[in-house]
Amino acid sequence: MNLPVVSYQLLYNGKDISADISNQVIGIEYDDRIKGESDELQITLEDSDRRWQNSWFPDKGATLQLIIRSAGKQMNCGTFQIDELQAQGSTSGDQFSIKALGAGITKAMRSKISYAHENKSLREIANTVAGNLGLTLQGNVEDISFERLHQYRETDLAFLNRIAGSYGYIFSVRGNLLVFTYYKDIEAKQPVITLGRNDLISFDIRTSTHLIYRNGRIRYHVPRKKKVIDYSTESESEFDSPSEDDMELYERIENDQQAQTRAAFGLHDNNSKMTAGDITIPGNILFLSGNNVQLQQIGKLSGVYHILDSRHSINRDGGYKTTGNLKKLQEISATLYK
């Protein structure tokens, strides 16, 4: 299958260097992730004259910006900070690699601190973290109440990801914004691409009923209140569960609201992994983490899938391909998009 040929623009500290480096570029890879890790950019360069090891040696902490243009549209991959430089040499010639991480991760964001959040809602905690980091909170965040949460030698973002993530919230740093999205809002979006069997370079999708549950249950004894919080929820999927078992969550909770939200998301998050896999397609700038795609002509595995992460690769000749990791949205594909 022929790959589409794209053009790209690469800026170093705001200066366009695309024309200067085009003859040295072996490959460019942009990793787009929905949660947990920073987006990443890697550029591999031919360095037979060793200029990248000497006069062109980049500065750590310098910024890179990548824009990919395809079929009259463009994707701004964002701003990255150079994090790692690598030179490799052999009898066949030298190569130089530049690895950069999503910018906006400042020293304050990397600092590990200890702090106790008392009598706050999840939204208030998110606002506190945003304020500490000079960011503005964007998005709807439920007022889940907490009496006390300990942040012990964690970065603000790691702490927030641990707490918010367990209740179904995904966030990212975009410029000066801390952008929050709820998992139901993300997964309910219309598919941005429809792909048939002939549109795929390759696919590897697996389905498993192991550790898939019909019910989720959370139970916790609150010593101070001398009470037991016990809450169960049923799977939202209309597909029959292969098990009558409960998924038991063993973790600290303080109130019924926490129990309900945590149990519902925990069960969904677990069961949504039943059908998942990887695909490779000719490059497509719409294939980004957080988007949904419709896969067709792959039998009973056809349906709507949610993109968890994607990699956009450009080779020496400008050939562009995209790979991605996906999970099937069973209840959405069965109801919203018939």
Helix (H) or strand (E) holding 181: strand 177-182
Mean pLDDT, residues 229-245 taken together: 68
- Please, which pLDDT band fits residue 336 given cuts at 50, 70 and 90? very low
Query: For the segment 242-257, what is each residue's pLDDT rounded down to a tens digit?
Result: 566 778 888 888 899 9
pLDDT at 334 over 80: no
- Please, which pLDDT band fits residue 102 given cuts at 50, 70 and 90? confident
Percent of the chain with pLDDT over 70: 92
> From the CB of residue 247, how many other CB atoms can be counted at a distance below 10 Å?
22
- In whole angstroms, give the CA distance from residue 65 to residue 125: 31
Residue carrying structure tokens 């062109």: 56
Mean pLDDT, residues 263-289 taken together: 92
Where b means 16+ CB within 10 Å and e means fewer, 191-218 reads: beeebeeebbeebebeeeeeebbbbbbb
- In whole angstroms, give the CA distance from residue 30 to residue 44: 12
Residue with more model confidence, 240 or 14: 14
* Strand pairing category for 275-282 and 320-328: antiparallel
Q: Is 253:229 a contact under the CB 8 Å cutoff?
A: yes
Q: Which residues pair with 171 in a beta bridge?
A: 180
Percent of the chain with pLDDT over 90: 57
Cα atoms found within 13 Å of the Cα of residue 336, Cβ hemisphere only:
17
- In whole angstroms, give the CA distance from residue 53 to residue 122: 48
Amino acid at position 115, single letter: Y
What is the Cα gyration radius of the chain?
23
Amino acid at position 243, single letter: S
Q: Is 66:31 a contact under the CB 8 Å cutoff?
A: no
pLDDT at 171 over 50: yes
pLDDT at 54: 96
Residue with more model confidence, 210 or 77: 77
- In whole angstroms, give the CA distance from residue 306 to residue 167: 19
Q: Is 30:41 a contact under the CB 8 Å cutoff?
A: yes
| DSSP structure class, residue 3 | P
